Amino acid sequence: MSIREIVIISGKGGTGKTTLTASLAAVAEEGKILADADVDAPNLALLLHPEETFREPFRGMSVAEVDRARCLGCGVCEESCRYDAIHVRDGKAVVDEGFCEGCRVCLHVCPEQCISLKNFERGTIRRGDTALGPLWHARLNPGGENTGLMVALLRREARKEAEASGAQLILTDGPPGIGCPVTSSVTGADFAVIVSEPSRSALSDLRRAAELCGILSVPFGIVVNRWNLSEELTDAIRTTCGDEGWSLLGTIPFDVKIAEAVGAGRIPAEEMGGDLPELWRSIQKTGRLKR
């Protein structure tokens, strides 16, 4: 049986995406691998409590480095850099590592051959065992770069383990927003669940996430979390889904017991009640139909 990868995303942070991911993992009966692709602020481990079994440094791509003792400040590298990442200051070339893409052009054009590439640790990739299955997660160091590359590597490791273990499902907690790490999380997935909420910015955030899935040709459905905080705004989301032809997979109410369970580091599957298994069945059914 083929492996299905479902990623849970949202147009913004704070919608309950991670809580939903953990809760779905609790009711999904398939053999599964779990992944937290929010490498800037990973939170899934706070609910799954993994026992770490593996850790390795993430180095990302290399960046240029100038040997200042040999540099003559000729400026050829500055003129050739398409990313505006290297400049001559005080007679010496200086690399802005935040802009450098490691393309190596400066290495080839430097007449003194005084530029090389360096690599350094940007974060860590981890694996841990949980009661619900293996969890792959990662964290960038403060100010770290290459989030998209890190997410891609994380997903690759999760898929390798799924193939080796015979797991049928990869359930991924994606990052919020629509930036590079989200694109890296969604690309090639079988189905995306977009978690929305009844707030004033909800429709704008939802449209951005839906547009991204459309661009990447990834089918998706929508879950409205804490729907009872504003029935009016929830109805607006429901109407928009109907107008746009988007699948509304289900709704989750706000309940103090759910918040208390999360605050205590517990998966609130029981607090969500019978709606949760029904929501999971809806995700499975809709995902298969859309593929």
pLDDT in tens, the chain (291 residues): 589 999 999 988 889 999 999 999 999 998 999 999 999 889 999 999 999 999 999 988 889 999 999 999 999 999 999 999 999 999 999 999 888 888 999 999 999 999 999 988 889 999 999 999 999 999 988 766 678 889 999 999 999 999 999 999 999 999 999 989 999 999 999 999 999 999 988 889 999 999 999 999 999 999 999 999 999 999 999 999 999 999 999 999 999 999 999 999 999 998 887 789 999 999 998 877 665
C-beta separation of 185 from 174 below 8 A: yes
Q: Report how far residue 243's alpha carbon sits from residue 229's, in angstroms, rounded to the nearest whole number.
A: 23
**pTM listed for this prediction:** 0.87
Q: Report how far residue 252's alpha carbon sits from residue 284's, in angstroms, rounded to the nearest whole number.
A: 17
233: left (phi over 0), alpha (psi -120 to 50) or beta: alpha
Give the type of residue at 62: S
Please name which of 167, 186, 227, 176 lies closest in space to residue 206, comparing C-alpha atoms. Answer: 176
DSSP tag of 91 = T
Burial class of residue 91, CB neighbours in 10 A (0-12, 13-18, 19+): exposed
Backbone angles phi and psi of 278, in degrees to 5: -65, -40
For the chain, domains (ranges, CATH) are 4-59+125-290 (3.40.50.300), 63-118 (3.30.70.20)
